[in-house]
Amino acid sequence: MRYISAMSHKIQSVNSKDLVKSQIQSDMNIFLSNFKNYSLGQKTLARRAGVHYKTIQRLSRMENAPGHITLLKVYSVLLGETNSQKLISLLPDVIRNSLIKDQAKLLPLGIDYSAEIKREVLNDKVFCEIYFLIDAGNVSKDLIQFKFGEHGLHILERMYSINAIKYAENGQIVLGSARLEFDTQVIKTAGVMISKKYTKPTNSEVLGDNFLALYVESLPESAYQEWLKIDKEAFIKKAEIAKKYRDVDSGKKVFTYMTTDTFIKGHDEETYN
């Protein structure tokens, strides 16, 4: 079902975040108007989009400005289009411009995302580690066997069977046609696992080997938002450098995992797969 022509483009606020929040609330309301029960409509949208029900509730109340992954997930349902490249062209101008401005070089276009790969990454630490080693480049079957033994070879067979990997002509293993979607659950799971195993505290005693830091404070909301802005800008810059200088032959495998949050414990939320 499509809702393209009905999308409202009348926005009152001049603030870019408010523009996005108002636009998505308006477009979601059009979708939700097809349900007699508003709450049931929200749950249906959450299930189809693969996001938390509470996220949909917050977006309906204009409490949050959604990230680009959430935007694409929700609009894939609202517009009835799962192809990322087509979806981008169909987005309302406010939403498309926001994506281009903030994440232009990071948008996942034309990717076949796999729910199976996501389940494996979230539930199998070895699968998760091997996937990201391959994503970093220059991985052979011998290397996997050396690091993980026979279990690693079984994981490779599983990855090949679900198109997570393929074998290049030079014998190297590369990612396959099906890919892992980097949503927040995956980012935290993989980030914590990789950091716990590979972060080397003693290397931080000298410059140039790695970077390890922790800072806690009590901040007003405006200062906290500045922190988040700095983190986002820094991550985008690092991603741009990585794409520009990627060297799978002689480059070292590296990772970066960033998080800034409050000392407020989150409640378990229902997820839909």
204 against 256, higher pLDDT: 256
**Average pLDDT for 10-19:** 58
Helix (H) or strand (E) holding 242: helix 221-245
Choosing from 149, 182, 215, the residue where a domain stops is 182
Question: Could you tell me if 62 and 125 lie in one domain?
Answer: no
**Average pLDDT for 186-215:** 91
Choosing from 147, 182, 217, the residue where a domain stops is 182
Number of domains in the chain: 3
Domain-located, residue 39 = yes
Question: Could you tell me if 169 and 232 lie in one domain?
Answer: no
> Are the C-beta atoms of 7 and 92 separated by less than 8 Å?
yes
**Is 70 exceeded by the pLDDT of residue 104?**
no
The alpha-carbon radius of gyration of the chain (Å, integer) is 21
Q: In the chain, which ranges are E strands?
A: 112-113, 139-140, 165-167, 172-175, 178-179
Domain-located, residue 192 = no
> Are the C-beta atoms of 269 and 54 separated by less than 8 Å?
yes
219-232 residue pLDDT tens = 999 999 999 999 98
Question: Could you tell me if 154 and 77 lie in one domain?
Answer: no
Q: Where is average pLDDT lowest: 39-53, 104-118, 220-234?
A: 104-118
Question: Could you tell me if 20 and 98 lie in one domain?
Answer: yes
Tell me if residue 15 falls in helix, strand or coil: coil
Choosing from 102, 120, 143, the residue where a domain stops is 102
Instruction: Show the domain range for 231.
Output: 199-262
Question: Could you tell me if 68 and 124 lie in one domain?
Answer: no
233-262 residue pLDDT tens = 898 899 889 989 999 888 999 999 999 999
Predicted TM-score (pTM) of the model is 0.70
Question: Could you tell me if 86 and 120 lie in one domain?
Answer: no
**Is 80 exceeded by the pLDDT of residue 53?**
yes
